[in-house]
Amino acid sequence: MFGLCKKSEGVFKYEYRRQLLASMCITITSFCHGFAFGWLSVILAKLQSPTETELDFVINVEESSWFGGMSSLGGVCGNIVYGGLVDLIGRKASNYCLAVPYIVSWILIYFANSVEYLYVGRFLAGVTGGGTYVIIPIFIGEIAEPKIRGRLISLFSLTLYSGTLCGYIITARIRYHLIPIVGVVIPLIFVIFQIFFPETPMFLLQRGRDERAKESLKFYRNYAPTTKESATEFEEAFQKLKSDVTSHQANANTLTWHDFCNKRAVIAFGNGLVLMWLNVFCGSYALLYYTSSIFVAARTELHPDTNTIIVGLVQVIGVYTATILVDRFGRRPLLIFSCAATGVGMTIFGLYGYLLTNTSVDLSPVSAWLPLVNVCLIMFVINSGLIPIPFVLLVELMPPKIRAKAAAVCLVLFNSIAFLLMKMFPITLVAFGLYLPMWFFALTSFLGLIYVVVFIKETNGMSLNKIEA
């Protein structure tokens, strides 16, 4: 099969195949994170119903609001812990550590006899999720060549929402106590696959392991010496990488507050923080976590679980679209389109919610299809830009000297504001209905559109070491 890749172009090109395989392997953890998302979105409505819950207790709206919140609090912890581990023990060892809290979370969920078990389980799943946001972009960014880096980093979101779709389907179709078994098996598969891939060349060079770094670069570039010219070309590429790493390491060893406070760093920080804010408050995670609850509030005629599965499929299609287009048309055009279309979609959905709860307008002719179609369109355009691209840009826009620490700070903020949204959204949904949160998401999207147009520059095809210039 891989022999066919010799004639392929783009991400499937022969020399890129190991970069692709390594990226697919590490993003199994984001698939796991998405699977937990999908489980939560469907199971919440069941756990709130005395007739549908398979546990010995029922949760209320206040308790359900903590489910998403605990995941985000765990994400903050994961950002901090793995943000330190990734430079302390390396990218590969940190990858192994991602599986541990996730497996423990499903064990707690399996044996849950009170809501506290579920809280701790969701917190630990969030720790793994927070770690994936730190480790995966760094790992892929360090092994991928600039021509395909955007597409490979976008695999993070593609696998995340593929996992979410699987979580929707499995949770809606099989019994509660069978789901944790699936949740434990997947990360074990990841651990086995990860054995076959070496540490990144950049990290090995940072530790002075030049020979291992050279072997790692050969592995990920799929290099096999055929001519003297190709050997010379590879040696030049390795020496250039070594020179860049040595230069940046020397700078990192003298890291001061000035490195975070100079104009270039402040601009990068500002862009990163705004992109994280926009990623959360465009409404993506509210729709992701509480999909079934939103369709219950919209009073659709289709079963909420059926609507949720359809939306999950659309999410995957949207992210796949971004994966294909991000290195062809660039980050900025996709982000602009996504902001504008999301704002329009949220405005329409908010109008539907307002007419549903605050007027006597008969919406029965459209209630069977309009909420589903509208949410599908929103999730498609969000996932084709606003979901994956901010994390690509977060790696690319940060100056190399402060990249890891600055990205970790932005991700801590990301999970902190996600906690605020996840905690308040179900309460707001019950108190005000659909229209108020949807119009807030629309306003955020339109303001984000203005910011992207004015301040975000294109980074497509540029070397990670050259973007800051």
Q: What is the pLDDT of residues 262-306, one digit of tens each?
A: 887 788 888 888 888 898 888 887 887 777 778 777 777 677 677
pLDDT of residue 3: 46
225: how many CB neighbours lie within 10 A of its CB?
Answer: 12
Greatest extent of the chain over all pairs of C-alpha atoms, in Å: 79
With beta carbons less than 8 A apart as the criterion, state whether 36 and 167 touch: yes
pLDDT of residue 120: 93
Distance CA 29, CA 32 (A): 5
Distances in Å between the Cα of 218 and the Cα atoms of 11, 253, 350, 361, 462 are 17, 28, 53, 66, 22
144: DSSP letter: S
Question: How confident is residue 1, by pLDDT bands cut at 50, 70 and 90?
Answer: very low
Exposed, middle or buried by CB within 10 Å (0-12, 13-18, 19+), for 344?
A: middle
H and E: helices and strands count for the chain: 21, 0
pLDDT of residue 101: 94
Q: Is the pLDDT of residue 208 over 70?
A: yes
16: DSSP letter: G
CATH, range 9-197+258-455: 1.20.1250.20
pLDDT of residue 439: 93
Of 192-206, 347-361, 415-429, 438-452, the range with the lowest mean pLDDT is: 415-429
Give percent above pLDDT 90 in the chain: 18
Mean pLDDT of the 374-385 span: 84
Mean pLDDT of the 147-151 span: 77
pLDDT of residue 157: 77
Distance CA 203, CA 213 (A): 8
Q: What is the pLDDT of residues 44-62, one digit of tens each?
A: 878 888 888 888 888 887 8
Write down the mean pLDDT value for the chain.
82
With beta carbons less than 8 A apart as the criterion, state whether 413 and 77 touch: no
Mean pLDDT of the 120-124 span: 93
pLDDT of residue 199: 92
Mean pLDDT of the 358-383 span: 82
Tokens of 226: 């055929």
Q: What is the pLDDT of residues 392-403, one digit of tens each?
A: 787 777 777 777
3-state SS string for 37-65: HHHHHHHHHHHCCCCCCCCCCCCCHHHHH
Distance CA 351, CA 40 (A): 27
Q: Is the pLDDT of residue 18 over 70?
A: yes
Q: Is the pLDDT of residue 462 over 60?
A: no
With beta carbons less than 8 A apart as the criterion, state whether 415 and 277 touch: no
Mean pLDDT of the 327-338 span: 80
pLDDT of residue 10: 63
pLDDT of residue 8: 47
Q: Is the pLDDT of residue 134 over 80?
A: yes
Q: Is the pLDDT of residue 464 over 70?
A: no
